[in-house]
């Protein structure tokens, strides 16, 4: 099982570097994983997206639609890419501790 | 990691390797293979040899009797499938297919010539199942099944997207996709599978769709789309889920209610159905058109497909309508009737709006959305304003399976010509039956397989580049969810400046709905082109 280490904590992750056990997530995890996405500082805008994703995931067991993320957070898609360079389904979901979506996406 | 740049990748080396092709070779380097399946997604559907392993490992942790399992699997399939035995026997190695594969064109690797890729298993077939091969061995092009041969199979048969372009050119009609399907079945018998196929398979089996979206999540997404349409268009549409007694069951790929740009196609469907008053329902269980069982085994394909007829029966509909999904149509059009039919509890599909009987769907009872919509337009049932797509200069990518597995060639073009003023075809040897694959179909559209996807998609992207430079095309339309997921990445890499959209997104832009408010933007929220520009476009 691959691992990811940051600030002295070792996390079990999948091959894409996503948290293996989404239930252990907390804000410190998001801060640690920010490094793996080359995000140096988590701003209130980052947290807005992360918290939205996290809450949706707790309710529905899955990430929300990309369009819904944009609308509910008020960010355009390119602005989300500005915050999370690998995009809403990858970078943003990774920091929020969600599993990576699979299929025709 | 940093991937090779386009100007590096386009330097394709066509020098054949010096050694014999009978020597197994597989270069498991980053960017050229997909991650292996997780044990839990195998366990969830009862598939064997669930374990943690990586294709780049030396030890694949195969079962001790793996060789017997694979050979017994071959024997069993040679008996059960006449097509498999035929395809093992009849190839004369004429080479008509050799340069037709997008992976061969993009990689220059001779083992990606469809003929040679098939020889990777034919050589094993000869060794164990033909008299000449048993006696003459290498002289007869036969070789032993070894672990290296198995690794070579895994490498090259996950570099075939089952698109069947090569089959169009085969004078014997060998269906190369069926060879790949069989080899992947054999690999599955010993637990060699990829994550991007296996997790959707497990999710589909448990929940009904690739993404594992549960009924309340499905409803949340559909409700969101309904609200957005009302906001944008000023019309409240209905989008019923699990409505018993509806006339039609509508099945879409789950990416339509999850991904982007798929979502805008979903809006197009919902607007269309409202406008013509179609009595339809979604199903929260048959909530996936795609069937990654097609990339696993016949049995898995059948299991995952069963929900379509099952939900149609439970909900009491008359017939089924299917959305913009790619490989679903190979499963539906070529296998569903005999796998899970006959659907004699359904009725031969008739459009309630035009009265047209879809005779081609008499046995499956399932109609493609483009057939349905083209028929509506043909009968003058829709009010369309192509000027609303004036900001798009459009070409059309024939998605492999709708084109080659069901002959869906004219209907999408007919719709596009009625909803867009500017439409330009790519060169004729890259469209229709000869369409080039996106390079990411059959479950290999993963991030980690990036280099191979860009290589495989190169011929398609090259044709897009041609119409971009010649006609100023800025939008590639298509009717497949994998296309919509993977072509944006491909085009950004090879042809920046061309976007990707579904045909029903373009329809949704042009559709004039009764009671709509004044529209100033397309479904993406982009402003329409100014009137003056439209006139000269």
The answer, for A23 touching chain B at a CB cutoff of 8 Å, is no
Per-residue pLDDT tens digits for B33-78? 999 999 999 999 999 999 999 999 999 999 999 999 999 999 999 9
Predicted confidence band at B536 (pLDDT cuts at 50, 70, 90)? very low
**pLDDT reading at A2 higher than 90:** no
- pLDDT reported for residue B537: 41
Q: Which positions in chain A touch B222 (Cβ < 8 Å)?
A: none
Domain A3-95: homologous superfamily in CATH: DsrC protein, C-terminal domain (1.10.10.370)
**pLDDT reading at B13 higher than 70:** yes
Structure tokens at B208: 């009904």
**Residue-range domain boundaries for chain A:** 3-95
**pLDDT reading at B533 higher than 70:** no
Rounded to whole angstroms, what are the CA distances from B529 to B388, B465, B469, B495, B507?
7, 23, 21, 23, 16
Count of A-B CB contacts under 8 Å: 86
**Residue-range domain boundaries for chain B:** 6-30+48-192, 203-536
Per-residue pLDDT tens digits for B369-399? 999 999 999 999 999 999 999 999 999 999 9
Tracing tokens 């890729």 back to the chain, one arrives at B117
Put simply, the answer to whether B254 touches A14 (Cβ < 8 Å) is: no
Determine the average pLDDT of the residues in A74-95. Answer: 93
The answer, for A64 touching chain B at a CB cutoff of 8 Å, is yes
The answer, for B324 touching chain A at a CB cutoff of 8 Å, is no
Predicted confidence band at B2 (pLDDT cuts at 50, 70, 90)? confident
**pLDDT reading at B79 higher than 90:** yes
Per-residue pLDDT tens digits for B81-136? 999 999 999 999 999 999 999 999 999 999 999 999 999 999 999 999 999 999 99
Per-residue pLDDT tens digits for B402-452? 999 999 999 999 999 999 999 999 999 999 999 999 999 999 999 999 999
Per-residue pLDDT tens digits for B264-279? 999 999 999 999 999 9
Give the span between the Cα atoms of A89 and B188, in whole angstroms.
29
Q: Give the Cβ contact number of residue B372 at 10 Å.
A: 25
Put simply, the answer to whether B263 touches A66 (Cβ < 8 Å) is: yes
- pLDDT reported for residue B531: 67
- pLDDT reported for residue B290: 97
The answer, for A78 touching chain B at a CB cutoff of 8 Å, is no
For chain B, the average pLDDT equals 96
Q: Which positions in chain A touch B210 (Cβ < 8 Å)?
A: 102-105
The answer, for A16 touching chain B at a CB cutoff of 8 Å, is yes
Q: Which positions in chain B touch A102 (Cβ < 8 Å)?
A: 195-196, 199-200, 203, 210-211
Per-residue pLDDT tens digits for B190-208? 999 999 999 999 999 999 9
- pLDDT reported for residue A89: 86
For B241, phi then psi, to 5°, come to -120, 135
B432: left (phi over 0), alpha (psi -120 to 50) or beta: left
Active site residues of A: 104
Give the span between the Cα atoms of B197 and B199, in whole angstroms.
6
């Amino acid at each position: 099982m691959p691992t990811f280490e940051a600030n002295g904590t070792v996390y079990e992750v999948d091959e894409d570097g996503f948290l293996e056990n989404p239930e252990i997530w907390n804000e410190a995890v998001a801060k640690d994983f920010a490094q793996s996405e080359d995000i140096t500082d988590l701003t209130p805008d980052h947290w807005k997206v992360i918290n939205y994703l996290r809450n949706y995931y707790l309710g529905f067991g899955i990430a929300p639609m990309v369009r819904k993320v944009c609308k509910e957070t008020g960010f355009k898609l390119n602005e989300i890419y500005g915050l999370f360079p690998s995009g809403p389904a990858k970078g943003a979901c990774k920091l929020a501790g969600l599993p990576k979506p699979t299929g025709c996406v | 990691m940093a991937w090779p740049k386009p100007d590096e990748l386009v330097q394709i080396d066509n020098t054949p390797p010096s050694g014999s092709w009978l020597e197994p070779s597989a270069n498991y380097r980053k960017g050229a293979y997909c991650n292996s399946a997780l044990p839990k997604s195998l366990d969830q559907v009862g598939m064997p040899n669930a374990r943690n392993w990586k294709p780049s490992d030396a030890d694949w942790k195969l079962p001790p009797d793996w060789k017997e399992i694979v050979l017994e699997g071959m024997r069993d399939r040679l008996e059960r499938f006449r097509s498999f035995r035929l395809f093992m026997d009849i190839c004369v190695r004429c080479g008509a297919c050799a340069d037709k594969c997008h992976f061969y064109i993009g990689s220059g690797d001779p083992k990606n010539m469809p003929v040679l890729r098939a020889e990777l298993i034919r050589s094993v077939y000869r060794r164990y199942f033909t008299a000449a091969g048993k006696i003459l061995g290498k002289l007869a092009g036969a070789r032993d099944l070894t672990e290296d041969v198995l690794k070579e199979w895994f490498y090259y048969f996950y570099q075939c997207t089952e698109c069947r372009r090569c089959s169009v050119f085969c004078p014997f009609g060998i269906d190369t996709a069926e060879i790949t399907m069989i080899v992947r079945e054999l690999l599955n018998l010993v637990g060699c599978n990829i994550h991007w196929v296996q997790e959707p398979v497990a999710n589909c089996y448990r929940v009904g769709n690739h993404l594992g979206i549960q009924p309340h999540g499905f409803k949340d997404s559909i409700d969101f789309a309904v609200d957005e349409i009302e906001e944008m268009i000023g019309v409240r549409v209905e989008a019923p889920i699990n409505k018993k007694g509806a006339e039609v069951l509508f099945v879409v790929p789950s990416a339509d209610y999850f991904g982007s740009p798929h979502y805008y196609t979903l809006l197009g469907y919902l607007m269309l159905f409202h406008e013509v008053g179609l009595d339809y329902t979604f199903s929260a269980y048959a909530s996936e058109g795609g069937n990654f069982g097609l990339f696993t085994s016949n049995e898995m394909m059948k299991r995952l497909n069963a929900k379509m007829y099952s939900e149609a029966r439970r909900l009491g509909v008359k017939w089924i309508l299917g959305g913009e999904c790619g490989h679903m149509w190979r499963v539906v059009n070529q296998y569903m009737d005999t796998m899970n039919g006959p659907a004699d509890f359904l009725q031969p599909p008739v459009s309630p709006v035009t009265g047209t009987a879809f005779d081609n769907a008499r046995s499956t009872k399932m109609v493609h959305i483009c057939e349905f919509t083209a028929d509506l337009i043909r009968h003058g049932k829709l009010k369309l304003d192509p000027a609303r797509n004036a900001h798009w200069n459009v070409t059309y990518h024939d998605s492999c399976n709708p084109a080659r597995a069901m002959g869906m060639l004219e209907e999408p073009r007919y719709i596009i010509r009625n909803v867009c003023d500017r439409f330009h075809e790519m060169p004729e040897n890259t469209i229709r039956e000869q369409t080039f694959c996106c390079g990411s179909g059959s479950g290999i559209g993963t991030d980690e397989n990036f280099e191979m996807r860009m290589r495989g998609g190169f011929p398609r992207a090259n044709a897009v580049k041609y119409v971009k430079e010649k006609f100023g095309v800025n939008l590639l339309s298509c009717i497949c969810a994998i296309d919509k997921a993977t072509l944006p990445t491909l085009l950004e890499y090879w042809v920046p400046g061309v976007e990707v959209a579904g045909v029903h997104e373009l329809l949704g832009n042009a559709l004039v709905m009764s009671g709509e408010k004044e529209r100033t933007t397309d479904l993406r929220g982009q402003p329409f082109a100014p009137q003056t520009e439209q006139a000269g476009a």
